[in-house]
Amino acid sequence: MLANVVLPLVLAFIMFSLGIGLTFKDFGRVLTRPRAVVLGIVAQMLVLPVVAFILLLFFDLPPAFKVGVMILSFVPGGTTSNMITRLARGDVALSVTLTAVVSVAFVVTLPLLIPAAVSFYQGADLGASIPVFELFLKAFLITAVPVAIGVALRQFLPSAMKAINRPVSIAATVLFIVLVLAIIFTNLDILREQLPVLGPMLILLNVIMLALGWFIARLGGLTGRPATTVALEAGVQNAGLGMAIGAILWASLGDGTVPDFSVYALPSAAYGVLMYFVAAPFVLWRFIANK
């Protein structure tokens, strides 16, 4: 029930909450600020998965957990990165643009990357058994479609969507927190067993990507608020989306090979708690610097 119904519905609502905060201008900003957008995309969609893959070589986690970590590295930042960017006084418009672009792109890249991750960590036979089109369709229906509906409503009913934007975002955040806690508390035994390895790995991934995101931005000529945004987009991922995609993958396998969806979702759930503590010093630093 949680994996097949609740998680996808909550994710769809979260993505809808993202959509009503977007306008067509957010997508068009790619043309007016190409350098900042390209740097953000490179950091998030190319550098992050590579760093996650390299780190996993040094940590002894169950294969399915490693797939879960890679899923986390594939997903966009979402409303989480937008919120933290605002707290850090970063470039919120750039953050929203990157979220919009990467959220659309990831629907295409996800069905290609997940089978590759499963094949590498759990065997080529299991990877080959994943119905790629079904995975693409599910990801499209619960991510791209709600975002598109939200953007359309924002375009045609701007006043109404602005009025409900804040309460909808709060509701989405509360649902995300409840989901994280539900997955953690129903898997306390396995979490206690794996957290000594999983926790440091996720913290290190978060720290490295914040640093690399900042370095890539500065190397590309960005400073101040835009550089802050690129660093946060690289270092802060949408844990709710990671959990839901883990559940979708588990459901797509459908043969009992992996008995519980939580093995794919738990890395994202743990990350959903840890990332706030890891990002806090960076956010405080940039909050002061961006005055």
* Residue spans per domain, the chain: 33-138+177-289
Confidence of residue 1 (pLDDT cuts 50, 70, 90): low
* Rounded percentage of the chain residues whose pLDDT exceeds 90: 8
Lowest-pLDDT range, 2-11, 100-109, 129-138, 243-252? 2-11
Cβ atoms within 10 Å, residue 259: 9
Confidence of residue 53 (pLDDT cuts 50, 70, 90): very high
Interval 142-164 mean pLDDT: 78
User: b or e along 206-236 (b: 16 or more beta carbons within 10 Å of the residue's beta carbon)?
Assistant: bebbbebbbbbbeebebeebbbbbbbbbbbb
Question: Does 36 have pLDDT greater than 80?
Answer: yes
CATH 3.90.1150.10 for domain 33-138+177-289, yes or no, is no
Q: Output DSSP code: residue 33.
A: S
Of 76, 91, 106, 42, the closest CA to residue 268 belongs to: 76
Which one is predicted more confidently, 199 or 1?
199
- For helices 188-219 and 262-289, give the axis angle rounded to 10 degrees: 40
pLDDT at 52 (0 to 100): 92
pLDDT at 54 (0 to 100): 93
The 10s digit of each residue's pLDDT in 80-92 is 777 788 778 778 7
- The mean of the pLDDT values for the chain is 79
